[in-house]
């Protein structure tokens, strides 16, 4: 089993126990890595196959968890592995000569979990452990959605765009791809629910589905206006949703014009 280790690059190492390192140290101890790896390995590609990165299942699983816990996209996770030593430590990639997974390797692993319906099982199991350790309090949830870009070109083998991807507009800019809808524990900031949809699905449609059911409060931006009136709304949850920007600007005091 992998274990967190101090980076050895011939450079001075920081001894400060940051909150991020304390959290990852706790996760290193409480997550049943052996059991989760055993769940995934029957579906993982055989090592050494052409085109496959030779990364251990546990390494990729640890990276997948860091993505969820710190709400990082695939490219952002790849950059973090290069920039943040504690992330490399947690993934077991601390040696100078260790290759680091690319964003495409991280994406392939996530798709493997989704394809075999493993992601929800794994996240639910770890969330139970976090709650038992008092690291996730579940009193409130913050919901959000982020756009994940996809190639819009049809210059590929099939000559088609990915049919699961769609256009969506954010502000005055159009995007092509999908959306990740995320539910985050309001106290700890830890992600507990992730749902993927086409990019043209409105945020409010997925809002209530991002709740785990035990929270009393939920928080969202203006894209979740009306979420409490939808058929899947939960009576015991009190929503706090931001005002729409146009209405907020209308309420802002205007500069006073002085008469001369």
| pLDDT tens, residue order, the chain (260 aa) | 665 554 444 444 555 678 888 889 988 988 889 999 999 999 988 654 545 557 999 999 999 999 888 878 889 999 999 999 999 999 999 887 788 999 999 999 988 998 898 988 887 888 788 777 777 767 888 888 877 765 554 444 555 555 555 555 555 665 567 788 889 888 877 788 888 888 888 999 999 999 988 889 999 999 999 999 999 999 999 999 998 776 666 666 666 555 54
CA 159 to chain centre: 31
Same domain, 191 and 111: no
Clarify whether residues 116 and 176 are in a common domain: no
Last residue of a domain, one of 131, 162, 190: 131
pTM of the model: 0.60
User: Reduced to 3 states, what is the DSSP secondary structure of residue 64?
Assistant: helix
Q: Please tell me whether residues 78 and 173 are part of one structural domain.
A: no
pLDDT for the residue numbered 158: 55
232 and 141 assigned to the same domain: yes
Contact 65, 126 (CB under 8 A): yes
**CA atoms lying within 13 Å on the CB side of residue 175:** 17
For the record, the structure tokens of 80 come out as 């973090």
Residues 154 and 185 in one domain: yes
- State which of 76, 97, 131 marks the end of a domain: 131
**Token pair recorded at residue 142:** 């913050």
Residue 9, in any domain of the structure: no
With respect to residue 74, please indicate whether it lies within any of the assigned structural domains. yes
Domain membership of residue 224 (yes or no) is yes
257 lies in some domain: no
- 145 and 93: one domain? no
Q: Does residue 170 belong to any structural domain of this protein?
A: yes
Q: What is the pLDDT of residue 248?
A: 61
b or e along 26-35 (b: 16 or more beta carbons within 10 Å of the residue's beta carbon)? ebbeebebee
What is the residue range of 205's domain?
Answer: 137-250
CA 169 from centre of chain = 21
- Among 89, 115, 131, residue at a domain's last position: 131
- The helix/strand/coil state of 12 is coil
pLDDT value at residue 14: 54
Give the integer Cα–Cα distance in Å for 218 and 153.
38
Cα–Cα dist 6/19, whole Å: 16
Does 7 map to a domain?
no
> Residue 10: its pLDDT value, please?
42
Which tokens belong to 182? Answer: 């995320």
Q: Are residues 62 and 153 in the same domain?
A: no
Reported as half-sphere exposure (CB side, CA atoms, 13 A), residue 85 has a value of 15
Q: Are residues 211 and 107 in the same domain?
A: no
Same domain, 142 and 111: no
Residue 61: inside a domain: yes
Verify that 223 and 161 share a domain, yes or no: yes
Tokens 């450079």 locate to 11
Q: Domain count of the chain? A: 2
> 117 and 176: one domain?
no
Q: Is residue 5 part of a domain?
A: no
Residue 40 and residue 93 share a domain? yes
* The pLDDT value given to residue 48: 46
């Amino acid at each position: 089993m992998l274990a967190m280790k101090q980076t050895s690059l011939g450079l001075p190492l920081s001894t400060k126990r940051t909150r991020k390192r304390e959290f990852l140290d706790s996760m290193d101890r409480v997550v049943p890595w052996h059991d989760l790896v055993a769940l995934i390995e029957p579906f993982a590609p055989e090592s050494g196959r052409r085109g496959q990165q030779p990364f251990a299942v546990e390494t990729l699983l640890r990276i997948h968890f860091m993505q969820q816990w710190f709400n990082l996209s695939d490219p952002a996770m790849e950059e973090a592995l290069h920039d943040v030593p504690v992330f490399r430590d947690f993934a077991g990639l601390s040696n100078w000569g260790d290759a680091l997974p690319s964003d495409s390797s991280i994406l392939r692993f996530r798709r493997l979990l989704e394809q075999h319906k493993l992601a929800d099982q794994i996240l639910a199991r770890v969330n139970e452990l976090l709650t038992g350790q008092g690291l996730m309090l579940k009193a409130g949830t913050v919901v959000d959605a982020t756009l994940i870009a996809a190639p819009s070109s049809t210059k590929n083998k099939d000559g088609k765009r990915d049919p699961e991807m769609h256009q969506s507009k954010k502000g005055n800019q159009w995007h092509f791809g999908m959306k990740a809808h995320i539910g985050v524990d309001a106290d700890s900031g830890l992600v507990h629910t992730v749902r993927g949809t086409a990019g043209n699905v409105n945020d409010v449609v997925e809002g209530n589905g991002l709740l785990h059911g035990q929270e009393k409060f939920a928080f969202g931006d203006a894209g979740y206006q009306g979420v409490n009136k939808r058929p899947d709304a939960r009576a015991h949850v009190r929503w706090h949703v931001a005002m729409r920007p146009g209405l907020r600007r209308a309420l802002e005091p205007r500069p006073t014009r002085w008469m001369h």
